[in-house]
Amino acid sequence: MLQDIPTPTRRETSSCVLDTERLTLRRPTLADVRAIARLANDRRIAENTRRLPYPYLQDHAVNFVRTMADAGDNAFLIENNFVPIGMVGVSWSERDAPELGYWLGVEHWGQGFGTEAARATIDYFFEEFDFDQLHAGARVTNPTSRNVLEKCGFQWSGVELHRFEALGSSTPVDRFRLSRGVWSSLKNWTSALRRVR
């Protein structure tokens, strides 16, 4: 995922950094390739992401960062306390169907970081690009990613077969969509204050 992205029309082109409560999302540089390769080189990640190879070598990370530099800042390195923990971004490999993708180093799973990074990237996408839909997919055997997508407001849209590089074959993937309308409703939905009478 996130390897081959021609930059579509964006409202502004400057590189940007996204800050959330616990995370900083920024453009990866060549200084990050060692960390990216160390985090990504795990079969449990490769088998759940379409384009990540396994084993994932430092050269893969170099190519990835160079491609990103040419294409624009559509992929973010995720940092927690200045430590790289994974990647998130939007891929335009299908030009009219931008797709959210993400992965975290295994030692960082299960702490809500995936959802936090996905939400920040979704906000960035709808605020910066003139698209009405963001797409995403999770292997039918990947309930964790499905959970992340549903917590972000994505709705299931069907099952497709997709090729996964690390598997060397195609496998069923649950497809999801998030519309600008749903995203905007979720952003505006503030909680009622509770009073005791």
Ligand X SMILES: CC(C)(COP(=O)(O)OP(=O)(O)OC[C@H]1O[C@@H](n2cnc3c(N)ncnc32)[C@H](O)[C@@H]1OP(=O)(O)O)[C@@H](O)C(=O)NCCC(=O)NCCS
Residues at the contact surface with ligand X, assessed by CB under 6 A? 1, 45, 48-49, 101-104, 109-115, 138, 142-145, 147-148
Minimum CB–partner distance for residue 47 and ligand X (Å)? 8
Of 13 and 144, CB closest to ligand X:
144
Minimum CB–partner distance for residue 44 and ligand X (Å)? 6
Crossing angle between the packed helical segments 58-71 and 33-40, to the nearest 10 degrees? 120
Count other C-beta atoms under 10 Å from residue 36's C-beta: 22
Minimum CB–partner distance for residue 136 and ligand X (Å)? 7
Of 63 and 111, CB closest to ligand X:
111
Beta carbons of 36 and 156 less than 8 angstroms apart: no
Q: Which residue is nearest to ligand X (CB)?
A: 114
β pairing state of 133-139 and 23-26 = unpaired
Q: Which of 139, 133, 173, 140 is nearest to 154 (CA)?
A: 133
Of 103 and 126, CB closest to ligand X:
103
Count other C-beta atoms under 10 Å from residue 57's C-beta: 14
d(CA 130, CA 111): 32
Of 46 and 65, CB closest to ligand X:
46
Minimum CB–partner distance for residue 27 and ligand X (Å)? 19
